[in-house]
Chain A
């Protein structure tokens, strides 16, 4: 939810888009070097043990997934340039994170985390996902400055830590549109006991975006860097119940990638030519810079004995152009010894206005192309789909869990925000089968 990134995606099929060609892979040697460095780091650190000031740990997922159709690619987040078809795909869920904790004093500590996963440029180049200085002034307060996860929704800042989640992956219909995952800034959290096993946690945060996301234009990644984030949340923790409400906002500071910006300028030119104010408003709706997105969410987690229930609902509004995005999910799991079978249902729907093309289609090939561009833009800005998933989590080891999951997606095939690529003739249905191994160390 950061933004409905989808908008950026629209260009993918726009007339000026010549192809959905693959993103160039970086030379393997670059990745290798980074990995050698990362693997070397723990060795150096353990050499400095045994004092407990340093701690190196990590998490990871090995995943395999296959889709029931080749007509649509299933991706797990907007930052993935290609998705999963019928061919077995290990890129969808596989990832590895390394974290170093350094306790500088009783009150100060440093945390750094790098994560390697299939990212916007098609590589597994590790990104610095967290790097902050933490200060604990009182028993229940924490002040952090640096690079921090953006916890706009319940699990948003631990989406990469598969082991911490019940399911094979966070529900696509809910977390899929979130393209911002972390920020450079600070946050303050404060927790206080309320008695009888209950506590309240409040948090505010502010920062800037540093990430980018792929588009289907080769070499054209949508830059989000510099976008301004503000967030606040309140979380009630009871013996069995966790309830959380949050509000956040994101103001963009960058324009769309050039192909979309030029499409928009084309629409403006035609609006002037045709003296059509509605067409000019349509062009206004294709501005990305200085958009403000508001994120509202409420969610609960209930765990009692073997039963666990999750439910989260969210709404994203943007001040001017794009209208509302609603999303939610609900899950029920029941523990039987080390195994938790579960059901997970999720839903997303946007309510963008119908595209307006005026007299464009009658204005020769150029007008028709611009009209088609507008249509595609809106198609790729919209999402309207639901998923029902059945799965099992098996904690076969204290630090590892195996999950199998089957997702059945029913989508409006004309609302393609969450799909990196769709082919004509797709009926909006897809079934995804996955096996993932999550671990921590």
Chain B
């Protein structure tokens, strides 16, 4: 799952081509959890339930802390397209409804993939989404969105 920096260099021309058309052809987003979460795998459904506020705990029973990368906006948009095939304005309106009727709290927002990794690495219940190429040994991949 993890890509070493060296390997990336070998594909420099390809990488540059990808960057040119980013973010549409960004790398594979994967769902990550904390190593102590007690979770090895999650289904797409389970991830949807957690990120849409319908379920509040990981399957292991630990209270979930969904974390999303709000910036750049295209990254967030791509995540919700993959998750529930919805546009951001619809997601924002959905959360306004749930949040202001006291049903659930939206995912914690951070502004970079590094912050997602940090929060997931430091909180047992945290669950987040980052590009596969950024995953390190502090976290565990439980779902590959590309598959």
By a beta-carbon cutoff of 8 Å, the part of chain A in contact with chain B is: 52, 55, 57, 59, 97, 99, 101, 106-107, 111, 113, 130, 132, 134, 136, 138-140, 142, 144, 148-149, 151, 155, 157-158, 160-161, 163-166, 189, 191, 193, 195-197, 199, 201, 237, 239, 303, 305, 308, 335, 338, 340, 395, 398-399, 401, 440
Known: A164-B96, A395-B92. 13 other contacts (CB 8 A): A106-B63, A139-B61, A161-B96, A161-B100, A163-B93, A197-B45, A197-B84, A199-B54, A335-B90, A338-B89, A399-B92, A401-B89, A440-B100
Stretch at the interface among B16-24, B102-110, B132-140: B102-110
Write out the residue numbers on chain B whose beta carbons fall within 8 Å of the beta carbon of A138: 57
Chain B interface residue bracket vs A:
20 to 34
By a beta-carbon cutoff of 8 Å, the part of chain B in contact with chain A is: 44-46, 48-49, 54-57, 61, 63, 73, 84-90, 92-94, 96-97, 99-103, 105, 108
Q: Name the residue of chain A whose CB is nearest to the CB of B93.
A: A164
Write out the residue numbers on chain A whose beta carbons fall within 8 Å of the beta carbon of B99: 57, 99
In contact, A142 and B103 (Cβ under 8 angstroms)? yes
In contact, B45 and A161 (Cβ under 8 angstroms)? no
A160 to B101, CA, bound (A): 10
Q: Which of A106, A132, A144, A195 is most buried by chain B, counting CB atoms within 10 A of its CB?
A: A106
Write out the residue numbers on chain B whose beta carbons fall within 8 Å of the beta carbon of A130: 101-102
In contact, B45 and A134 (Cβ under 8 angstroms)? no
Q: Name the residue of chain B whose CB is nearest to the CB of A304.
A: B85
In contact, A157 and B101 (Cβ under 8 angstroms)? yes
Given contacts A52-B108, A164-B96, contact A189 B103 (CB under 8 A): yes
Interchain residue pairs with CB less than 8 A apart (26): A57-B99, A97-B100, A99-B99, A106-B63, A111-B102, A138-B57, A139-B61, A140-B56, A142-B103, A151-B101, A158-B96, A161-B101, A163-B92, A163-B93, A164-B93, A165-B93, A166-B93, A193-B54, A193-B55, A197-B84, A199-B49, A199-B54, A239-B84, A335-B89, A338-B89, A401-B89
A161 to B46, CA, bound (A): 28
In contact, B54 and A140 (Cβ under 8 angstroms)? yes
In contact, B100 and A158 (Cβ under 8 angstroms)? yes
Out of A142, A161, A196, A401, name the residue touching B97 (CB < 8 Å): A161
Shortest beta-carbon distance from A141 to chain B in Å: 9
Q: Which of A138, A164, A395 is most buried by chain B, counting CB atoms within 10 A of its CB?
A: A164
In contact, A59 and B96 (Cβ under 8 angstroms)? yes
Given contacts A398-B73, A398-B88, A399-B92, contact A237 B54 (CB under 8 A): yes
